[in-house]
Amino acid sequence: MNPTKRKQSGAIGTVIIFCIAVVCAGALWIYFDEDVARKLKQEAEIQSMAVIGDVATKRLASASGEGTHGAAVDLIKRPIEVREVAENIHYATGVGNTIMITTSEGVVLFDTGLVIQSANQLQILKDTVSDADVRYIILSHSHADHIGGTRFWMDEGTDIIAHQNFEEEQRYLSELQPYQYDRNRTLFPWMPAWEDRPDIALMRYGGIVPTITVDDWETYAFTLGGIEFQVIGAPGAEGADNAVLWLPQQKVLISGDFFGPQFPQFPNIFTMRGEKVRKPVEYIKSLDRLIALNPDVILPSHLDPTIGAEKIRKGMQRIRDAVQYVHDETIAGMNAGKTVNQLMKEIKLPPNLELVQNHGRVDWAVKSIWEYYMGWFRFESTTELYPIPAQDVYADLAQIAGNENLIALANNYLIQGEPVKTLHITEIALAGDPQNSSALALRDQALVELLERAENGLRNDYEIYWLKSQLDTAL
Ligand SMILES: [Zn+2]
């Protein structure tokens, strides 16, 4: 090659390199521009959500009244703070915790809290723990108190890991939202009415699409910055789409709602709030998987960690055996020809399996296991087959029986310590005469009696919420 040619090709090379550089800079600029725009929009959204969230949280907390341990009303009053579990594991408190695991290659999140609290949780975690890129967001299940901040945390290329059933659960919860909102508001009257709820696009439930999924009892494992992560599909507890995160090097189990807000406690196998069935045998199988991990720490998405391998192992084993016991006793009773109501009355946990029942209840579990296996027709009365409930004849019955007789009977039941029977009779009396003051007074007395028993007995939150809601409408 002569020098001129070399010079020429050198010049062409320079031009090509220059052109490539310009194209790259242009592309970089376009890319940069979009990224900046996305980030600015996201930051503006987070700022506005922090303000809206503060107002909404304060309003809910001030209207929430008395609670019991672990109840929703307690959770809304929790201040948003950062707590450390280990050097690389922190969580922001709230109704639902947002958990952050830091690594040298970015952060991993587990659950993103309730939408009205998520912006504040994000800000405090970014300010005090890490503002590195979010590489993975793991969602324990599709309930609104666990996924609210997902969109605010998303960086370019963030993967969302959830159970394979996550999208289906999110679909049905979205479709039934108005109906479920009403039910929840009956139990939690401090929630704003459906028409008064802050209906802002940013706060709407749903629309999250996982990029990585795990199936039942499957593990999705990855390593980031030298930390091993195992996401395990653990169905049964709060629904068909439960997933937990296991950190094998530190023996920490990040459990979402798998155990409920307290540990240990009898699980809410099938919540009375109303949801799709939860499968008891799946739950037992999931528990077997988790017991085998032998965790030193359980970090849940509500309230605080439980520490100590022995305590955790004993607690998990007791929950497992209690659910198995209630399941097996229900099956045995069904095969022995007992009715669901008989079994609800008879089946009790033996002393060695005793657990608190303020979240889930044994008798409601019996009913839900019965219905899980047998569906809606109990084979007890022909009338079950037709849409004409007993209540349809109450008004006529009341007229024949006469108010005085009904009131006397309702009162007798109350004196005999049978407030539920009192309610049956006052329902009949009130169907005939809705304003009857004696019947109304007896109904209230029966509700007060049941409330006192609940508060001095199992202290089940949902039973207490329900009875209070009925007293509120009664008064
Ligand atoms: Zn929850």
pLDDT digits (tens, 9 = 90+) for 149-204: 999 999 999 999 999 999 999 999 999 999 999 898 888 887 788 888 777 777 88
Q: Is residue 39 part of a domain?
A: no
Interval between CA 471 and ligand 1 midpoint (Å): 27
Interval between CA 142 and ligand 1 midpoint (Å): 9
Domain boundary among 307, 330, 347: 307
Around ion ligand 1, which residues have CB less than 5 A away?
145, 257
The pLDDT-based confidence of 41 (bands split at 50, 70, 90) is confident
Q: Is residue 334 part of a domain?
A: yes
Residue 183 shares a structural domain with residue 238: yes
Residue 33's pLDDT is: 61
Q: Is residue 153 part of a domain?
A: yes
Retrieve residue 437's tokens.
Answer: 């003051």
Residue 221, pLDDT > 90, answer yes
Domain boundary among 274, 307, 340: 307
Interval between CA 255 and ligand 1 midpoint (Å): 11
The pLDDT-based confidence of 44 (bands split at 50, 70, 90) is confident
pTM: 0.86
Interval between CA 344 and ligand 1 midpoint (Å): 26
Q: What mean pLDDT comes out for the span 364-390?
A: 96
Residue 200 shares a structural domain with residue 118: yes
Give the sheet arrangement for strand 89-92, strand by strand: 82-86, 89-92, 98-103, 106-110, 134-138, 159-163, 212-214
Interval between CA 111 and ligand 1 midpoint (Å): 10
3-state SS class at 136: strand
Residue 474's pLDDT is: 66
Q: Is residue 269 part of a domain?
A: yes
Buried b (16+ CB within 10 A) or exposed e, 238-273: bbbbbbbbbbeebebbbbbbbbbbbbbbbbbbbbbe
Interval between CA 375 and ligand 1 midpoint (Å): 27
Cβ–Cβ under 8 Å, residues 111 and 301: yes
3-state SS class at 434: coil
Q: Name the domain count of the chain.
A: 3
Residue 356 shares a structural domain with residue 433: no
**What is the bridge-based pairing of β-strands 219-224 and 227-233?**
antiparallel
Residue 279 shares a structural domain with residue 331: no
Q: What mean pLDDT comes out for the span 233-249?
A: 93
Interval between CA 261 and ligand 1 midpoint (Å): 8
Residue 279's pLDDT is: 86
Q: What share of the chain is helix, strand, coil (3-state, %, to 5)?
A: 55, 15, 35
Residue 274 shares a structural domain with residue 324: no
Residue 223, pLDDT > 60, answer yes
Interval between CA 2 and ligand 1 midpoint (Å): 77
Residue 459, pLDDT > 90, answer yes
Interval between CA 300 and ligand 1 midpoint (Å): 9
Q: Which residues form the domain of 362?
A: 318-374
Q: What mean pLDDT comes out for the span 20-45?
A: 56
Cβ–Cβ under 8 Å, residues 297 and 252: yes
Q: Is 116 exposed, middle or buried (0-12, 13-18, 19+ CB in 10 A)?
A: buried
Interval between CA 200 and ligand 1 midpoint (Å): 22
Query: Where do runs of H (alpha helix) occur along 63-158?
Result: 72-77, 115-128, 144-147, 150-153
Residue 168 shares a structural domain with residue 63: yes
Interval between CA 43 and ligand 1 midpoint (Å): 26
- Please tell me which residue, 344 or 10, carries the higher pLDDT value: 344
Which CATH number covers residue 261? 3.60.15.30
Interval between CA 257 and ligand 1 midpoint (Å): 6
Interval between CA 146 and ligand 1 midpoint (Å): 6
Residue 158 shares a structural domain with residue 284: yes
Residue 243 shares a structural domain with residue 113: yes
Residue 59 shares a structural domain with residue 200: yes
Q: Is residue 41 part of a domain?
A: no
pLDDT digit string (tens) for 269-310? 888 888 887 888 999 999 999 999 999 999 999 999 999 999
Interval between CA 144 and ligand 1 midpoint (Å): 8
The pLDDT-based confidence of 377 (bands split at 50, 70, 90) is very high
Residue 270 shares a structural domain with residue 332: no
- Provide φ and ψ at 205, rounded to 5°: -75, 145
Q: Is residue 258 part of a domain?
A: yes
Interval between CA 29 and ligand 1 midpoint (Å): 43
Interval between CA 393 and ligand 1 midpoint (Å): 41
Enumerate the β-bridge partners of residue 254: 245, 299
Question: pLDDT above 90 covers what percent of the chain?
Answer: 71
Residue 395 shares a structural domain with residue 348: no
Interval between CA 263 and ligand 1 midpoint (Å): 14
**What is the bridge-based pairing of β-strands 219-224 and 212-214?**
unpaired
Residue 237, pLDDT > 90, answer no
101-105, 142-146, 291-295: range with lowest mean pLDDT: 142-146
46-50, 325-329, 336-340: range with lowest mean pLDDT: 46-50
Q: Is residue 150 part of a domain?
A: yes
236: left (phi over 0), alpha (psi -120 to 50) or beta: left
